[in-house]
Amino acid sequence: MELIKRNIHTDNIKSKAQTQMTLEDDVIISDSRPDAAKLIMDRGNVMIEEVKVSDDHANVKGRMRFHVLYLAENGAASSGRSDVADMEGEIPFDEMVFMEGIRGGDNVSVDWELEDLSIGLINSRKLSIQSVVTLMLACGEICDEETAVDLYSEEPVEFRKKTLDIAAMTIKKKDIFRVKEEVEIPGSFPNISTMVWSEITPDAVEFKVLEDKISVQGELRAFFLYRGEGEDEDLCHYETTLPFAGSLDCPGAREGMIPEIRFTAENREVEVRPDFDGEERVITFEQCLDLDICVYEEEKIDLLSDVYGVVNEVSVLEKNADFRRLLSRSSGKTKLSGHFKCEDEKIILHKILHTTSKLQITGQSVAEGGIDLTGVVNMQIFYECSSEEDKYGVIKGTIPFQYMLEADGITENCIYPVQAFVDQIVVAIIDNGEVDVKCVLYFRSNVYSTWQEKIVEQIVVSEPDMEKMASLPGIAVYMVKEGESLWDIGKRYYVPVSVIKQTNDLTSDEVRAGDKILIVKNA
């Protein structure tokens, strides 16, 4: 007697942990940079450099990088006009995190959230950097679940199967998708002397599984602040949105599979080069999307669920196995608005140059019929005002949100990774120092139902219990009890189900409580 088995790839979380740390430092502005009069914009990100895994612990090393745009003190004093400069720096960290059950050699992934970045000006040559960083660690394991799907036996034996709808993991890997673009500034803009600040943000990124590849498409929102050529080197800005599309080779992928892909976009290169006339007017850049790829395939599998013998005693040894299936693909959007004021009430806003946004989900939980999401959108609104000596500044603000993402049938046992992004940001000046902000938040999630199922691991065959066999009548009329099936009756009397059906002229396996079934042993 031999079990026919097949491997089903499943991914399970062996251990999870989360830790929060405060990183702070006072940083001296380098000698190559001018004195600072006022801070304008800032941004930060976290680079994970090394994860060392030992028994029950993970050691995470990395750096929190920051980038600051500020109003230069010496520019305003010497020329009577505003000048800006930027500065970059980093704060290293080395954090030991307790993770119960992990062992050396396990693969631990680390996600991060820069929850609060506060940069202040101590004096014209020194900055105060404070940040709160949350590290989210997960140790995943890929399991090859050997699942019995059939049985080969030379002796008479009865077995039955059950059909499961599952989502089996077929591909898990990391990859990099590079977006290379170039833009030429419009003819009305001066040539580029020096690039001061650039921001490139991927938006509305979508993934689709095709034959042996994964398609990637989305938009890049690009903002460039530069000094123009000329005697005054006036500060200029240019903003554009560029669609992109491409694909990654992914052997084994097939159209219709489910992509579960996360990405980060922290590495980019920006370069200014001459156009065909030799003038510095072309900006080339490469944006890297670091992808964490999981691909699932929906399929039906027939599992061996039970076995009994007709001649010998046959029993099964079972174990629990974890499965998942796709419950729903959920998506939704909501409008959000806010109202902000300049800290300096004397400021008269001239125009909005650029707006950055960062959506942060602070809470997610299962509610009736969906996923309850709460969070904030942090805004930085870069503006130009009427003052020549204090021409540039930023309005910072936070807009809270609460949204119910519909997902029918979701329960606490479901897995529901949520992706969210901000789009259609519109900022309007409504008064001298006040602005209205409107935007649209987009959410999407693949919701997976997870459960444990008993699967047959081994067949045990033994000699029949002769005393038990002798006690069974050769012919009997059996009255079906509530909840019983032909399988239960056949197993009780060591009679094949097909024989019971033939004896009783039954065309299906369905019986009801109170039905009388004729049992003929060895018929």
Q: What tens digit of pLDDT does each residue of 370-412 get?
A: 999 999 999 999 999 877 777 889 999 999 999 999 999 999 9
Quote the CA–CA distance of 317 and 312 in Å, as a whole number: 16
Quote the CA–CA distance of 197 and 220 in Å, as a whole number: 16
pLDDT at 79 > cutoff 70: no
Question: Alpha helices, DSSP H only, in 81-158?
Answer: none
CB atoms within 10 A of CB 151: 19
> Residue 261 — pLDDT band, cuts 50, 70, 90?
very high
Summarize pLDDT for 185-230 with one digit per residue, the tens: 999 999 999 999 999 999 889 999 999 999 999 999 999 999 998 7
Picking from 143-147, 278-282, 365-369, 478-482, which range would have the lowest pLDDT averaged per residue? 143-147
Q: Counting beta carbons within 10 angstroms of the beta carbon of residue 249, is it exposed (0 to 12), middle (13 to 18) or buried (19 or more)? A: exposed
Q: What is the pTM of this model?
A: 0.85
- Mean pLDDT along residues 347-357: 91
pLDDT at 76 > cutoff 50: no
**Residue 140, pLDDT score:** 83
Two tokens, residue 196: 């001061």
pLDDT at 80 > cutoff 60: no
CA distances from 115 to 45, 46, 346 (A): 10, 11, 31
The structural domains of the chain, ordered by start, are 8-144 (no CATH), 153-305 (no CATH), 312-464 (no CATH), 465-523 (3.10.350.10)
Contacts with 431 (C-beta within 8 Å, 6 or more apart), sequence order:
none
Region at 522 (left for phi over 0; alpha for psi -120 to 50; beta for the rest)? left
pLDDT at 75 > cutoff 60: no
In the chain, pLDDT over 90 holds for what percent of residues? 65
> Residue 522 — pLDDT band, cuts 50, 70, 90?
low
**Residue 470, pLDDT score:** 79
Beta strands in 99-125 (DSSP E): 108-123
Task: Tell me the CA end-to-end span of the chain in Å, nearest whole number.
Answer: 23
* Half-sphere exposure in the Cβ direction for 83 (13 Å, CA): 19
Longest dimension (CA), the chain: 112
Judge whether 208 and 214 are in contact, CB under 8 Å. Answer: yes
> Residue 74 — pLDDT band, cuts 50, 70, 90?
low
**Residue 36, pLDDT score:** 93
Two tokens, residue 394: 């930023």
pLDDT at 30 > cutoff 80: yes
Task: Find the angle CA(255)-CA(260)-CA(262) to the nearest 5 degrees.
Answer: 130
- Mean pLDDT along residues 286-315: 91
At 468, give phi and psi (nearest 5°): -65, -40
Rg over alpha carbons for the chain, rounded to the nearest Å, is 33
- Mean pLDDT along residues 249-257: 94
- Mean pLDDT estimate for the chain: 90
Which string of DSSP letters, residue by residue, matches 207-249?
EEEETTEEEEEEEEEEEEEEEESSSS--EEEEEEEEEEEEEEE
**Residue 77, pLDDT score:** 41
**Residue 234, pLDDT score:** 83
CA distances from 285 to 241, 423, 513 (A): 13, 22, 74
Summarize pLDDT for 129-168 with one digit per residue, the tens: 999 999 999 998 877 888 888 888 878 888 899 999 999 9
Judge whether 3 and 458 are in contact, CB under 8 Å. Answer: yes
Specify the residue for token string 């002229």: 505
Contacts with 403 (C-beta within 8 Å, 6 or more apart), sequence order:
332, 334, 372, 373, 374, 441, 443
More confident residue, 188 or 9: 188
Quote the CA–CA distance of 84 and 67 in Å, as a whole number: 13
Picking from 93-102, 246-255, 349-358, 468-477, which range would have the lowest pLDDT averaged per residue? 468-477
> Nearest CA to 266 among 289, 250, 248?
289
> Nearest CA to 473 among 504, 518, 514, 440?
518
Q: Which residues lie across from 309 on neighbouring strands?
A: 157
Picking from 62-76, 213-227, 266-280, 283-297, which range would have the lowest pLDDT averaged per residue? 62-76
